[in-house]
Amino acid sequence: MNFPISAEPDARLRIDKWLWAARFFKTRSLAADAVAKGRVRLDGAPVKPAREVRVGDLLEIEIDRIARQVTVQGICNVRGPACVAQTLYAETAASQAQRQHELERRKTFREPAATLQGRPTKRDRRTIDKLADER
């Protein structure tokens, strides 16, 4: 199947539709929600889902608290396979390094409350109260 990718400077597409086609989000509504919540910025400024994106625009996309900076290299209004979607953007080198650093940090970091399950027992409550009284 042929996917119409346009790299012309005058080509435009809604930002939520582009994010969906570039496979940053699984559905277009998830992309629109992320844009509406301010997790997607165009040239450093928050935008609305109907804002049009063009070739050469710099996007900052935050997914799961990991920020990416990508430059738009192509416009495609249909969602294709991942190999086609990867041709629509280029991630900056600084963004790649920062993302790798964050992923490594997440591997070694342990959430303190991850081992806790449910309500504290009576013994746990006594320990918590004892520690609170010491402060």
Domain positions in the chain are 1-102
Portion of the chain with pLDDT greater than 70, in percent: 99
- The string of pLDDT tens digits covering residues 43-85 is 999 999 999 999 999 999 999 889 999 999 999 989 999 999 9
Q: b/e string for 27-41 if b means 16 or more Cβ within 10 A?
A: ebeebbebbeeebbb
- Split at pLDDT 50, 70, 90, the class of 1 is low
pLDDT at 25 over 70: yes
78-104 pLDDT, tens per residue?
A: 999 999 999 999 999 999 999 999 989
Which overall architecture, per CATH, does domain 1-102 show? Answer: Roll (3.10)
Residues 13-22 pLDDT 10s = 999 999 999 9
Q: How many CB atoms lie within 10 A of CB 19?
A: 27
Handedness of CA 5, 7, 9, 14 (dihedral sign): positive
